Structure 1
């Protein structure tokens, strides 16, 4: 009898824990422009119109001294790969990719930032 009660209690706890995890929703959005960070994790440096931009986790940065400032994605800049979590959207018959509010179109082997 004690074993059955222990098994039922364990089952109830497991169901309760799994239901709590299932209700959690994570929303990832582009950080506010002008946000300053001190370090970046594995950024890609991309030169566009003689300016260095840093791209990591789908967010664009510019260097300011030893720190980095979140900036808008420069229209026309090219990246080789998009970060995980992008969505494919069809707009006016065009296949576009959206990630954190930034729109990209495929151009050859690259993805180019566009205005929509």
Structure 2
């Protein structure tokens, strides 16, 4: 063989060796995937790029999941505290205007001589309940005297210019159109009419109630007696029959009878001239 042919054969064998060796190395790994380039010692792998299917990619995915879970767990938790445009709203009830008022000034009763009662009292639990009219039960339905009237406990931020100041036993009240107010935090709260409170006018739709030849005017749960040119708040007179009772009362079961109790005053349901009414009850101890 000529020298030129040897040279060509040698070149062909060398080219075959160079080409086959990397392929053999690639086939030597499972799946034929290239070997992973290990990072140099000393932590130089912090800036490496993830390789598809390799350990670096898996670690990177784990970090992303950890960060995502941390964001979810540490995010704002306001599902139960929706204050704007939500279905759940936190309501803060302002009780700063609550006021403690001695309402028993008009829960005492002007007593009658029991001899004037032509019928025996109802006796139960060590007490005698005197009324002129027989007991006829009907449900307690609070009455509404109109837009200018408010029940006990009603709060207003400001009073009308028609309100006046009335001092009773060194305590200051405000009176307007049959309603009595006591100043409380940031406004005024409706209270029971204080016994002894004197005003020059009362609502024109007050009810006239005559007891023992004494004329009383009844409005919004309060009794007034005229004294010259003024009207003075008095305790409820026993035997007085009124058409309606205000809010703030409660039905109280006493034996077989049910009374409406407002403060410490008991009202017995009665029927007069075919109409449901209430009579101020005189309660005496049976001891």
User: When the two structures are superposed, what TM-score results if normalisation uses the length of structure 2?
Assistant: 0.32
1:32 counterpart residue number: 194
- TM-score when normalising by structure 1: 0.71
Q: Quick one: structure 1 residues 51 and 99, their matched pair in 2 at CA, closer, same or farther if it must change by over 3 Å?
A: same
Partner residue of 1:95 out of 246, 254, 258: 258
1:72 pairs, out of 223, 229, 235, with: 235
Runs of 4+ in 1 over 3 A off after TM superposition: 22-28
Gaps of 5+ in 2: 1-82, 107-192
Greater share of strand residues, 1 or 2?
A: 1
Q: Is the 8 A contact 1:58 1:100 kept in 2?
A: no
Alignment: residue pair count: 104
Equivalents in 2 of 1:39, 1:84: separation in Å? 23
Give 1:23 deviation, angstroms: 6.1
Alpha-carbon spacing, 1:54–1:81, altered in 2? closer, same or farther (3 Å):
same
Matched residues in 1 for 2:246 and 2:209: separation?
15
* Structure 1 unaligned blocks of 5 or more: 1-10
Q: For 2:99 and 2:270, locate their aligned partners in 1 and report how far apart those are by CA, in whole Å.
A: 31
Aligned counterpart, 2:94: 21
8 Å CA contact 1:34, 1:71 repeated in 2: yes
Give the aligned CA root-mean-square deviation in angstroms: 2.7
